[in-house]
Amino acid sequence: MRILAFETTCDETSVSVLCGRRLLSNIVFSQIKLHRKYNGVVPELASRAHLEKIPHVLGRALGQAGYRRPFFKNGRLNGPEIDAVVFSRGPGLPGALLVSRMAGAAAARLLGAGFAGVNHLEGHFLAYEYEGNALTRKIKFPCIGLIASGGHTELWKAHDYGRYAVLGRTRDDAAGEAFDKVAKLLGLGYPGGPVVEKTALKASTRRQGGAADFPRPYLDDSFDFSFSGLKTAVAYRLRELLGADFYEKRKKATPGLAAAICLAFEEAVTDTLVHKTVKALKAYGLKRAVVGGGVAANARLRRKFYESAAKDGYEVGFAEKRYCTDNAAMIALCGAKRLERGRLGGSVDIAPDLAEVSWV
Sequence-distant (6+) residues with CB within 8 A of 75 are none
The reply on whether position 129 binds Zn ion by CB under 5 A is no
3-state secondary structure 48-74: HHHHHHHHHHHHHHHHHCCCCCCCEEC
Check binding of 7 to Zn ion (CB under 5 A): no
How far apart CA 196 and CA 176 sit, in angstroms, is 11
149 binds Zn ion (CB under 5 A): yes
Task: Compute the least distance from the CB of residue 106 to ligand KG4, in Å.
Answer: 24
Of 254, 251, 264, 256, which is closest to residue 204 (Cα–Cα)?
Answer: 256
Q: Are 276 and 225 in contact (CB under 8 A)?
A: yes
Q: Nearer Cβ to ligand KG4, position 82 or 297?
A: 297
CA 229 – CA 7 distance, rounded (Å): 31
Q: Residue 192, interface with ligand KG4 (CB under 6 A)?
A: yes
Check residue 179 for interaction with ligand KG4 (CB under 6 A): yes
Indicate the burial class of 256 (C-beta count within 10 angstroms; 0-12, 13-18, 19 or more).
Answer: middle
Q: Which residues pair with 289 in a beta bridge?
A: 144, 316
* Residue placing its CB nearer to Zn ion in the complex, 196 or 211: 196
Between CA 43 and CA 49 the distance in angstroms is 10
Cβ-based nearer residue to Zn ion, 266 or 326: 326
For residue 155, the SS3 value is: strand
State the minimum distance, in angstroms, from the CB of residue 293 to Zn ion: 6
Q: Does 180 bind ligand KG4 (CB under 6 A)?
A: yes
Residue (199 or 208) nearer to ligand KG4, CB: 199
Minimum separation from the CB atom of position 58 to Zn ion (A): 20
Please give the Cα distance from 92 to 7 (Å, whole number): 10
Out of 182, 274, 326, 334, point to the residue binding Zn ion (CB under 5 A): 326
- With contacts defined by CB under 6 A, name the span among 26-34, 146-154, 232-240, 335-343 that binds ligand KG4: 146-154
CB-nearer residue toward Zn ion: 308 or 325: 325
Where does this chain touch ligand KG4 (CB under 6 A) — which range of 65-73, 148-156, 208-216, 337-345? Answer: 148-156
At closest approach, how far in Å is the CB of 147 from Zn ion? Answer: 8
CB of 47 to Zn ion, least distance (A): 16
> 3-class SS at 241?
helix
Number of neighbouring beta carbons within 10 Å of residue 85: 27
Cα–Cα distances in Å, from 244 out to 81, 143, 240? 62, 46, 8
The distance of closest approach from Cβ of residue 124 to Zn ion in the complex, given in angstroms and rounded to an integer, is 6
Distance CA 97, CA 105 (A): 12
Nearest CB to ligand KG4, comparing residues 111 and 298: 298
Is position 293 an interface residue for ligand KG4 (rule: CB under 6 A)? yes
Does 150 engage in binding with ligand KG4 (CB under 6 A)?
yes
Q: Kindly list the strands in the beta sheet with 12-19, ordered across the sheet, starting from the edge strand earlier in the chain.
A: 114-119, 84-90, 2-7, 12-19, 22-30, 134-135, 130-131
Of residues 95, 145, 168, 194, which one binds ligand KG4 by CB under 6 A? 194
Q: Are 179 and 269 in contact (CB under 8 A)?
A: yes
Phi/psi at 275 (5° precision) = -55, -45
Query: For the window 67-86, what string marks contact with ligand KG4 as x by the rule CB under 6 A?
Result: --------------------
Q: Is 191 in the site for ligand KG4 (CB under 6 A)?
A: yes
Stretch that binds ligand KG4, among 15-23, 94-102, 143-151, 159-167 (CB under 6 A): 143-151
Stretch of residues binding ligand KG4 (CB under 6 A), selected from 104-112, 215-223, 291-299, 348-356: 291-299
* Residues forming the site for Zn ion (CB under 5 A): 149, 326
* Residues forming the site for ligand KG4 (CB under 6 A): 10, 124, 149-151, 176-177, 179-180, 191-194, 197, 293-295, 297-298, 325-326
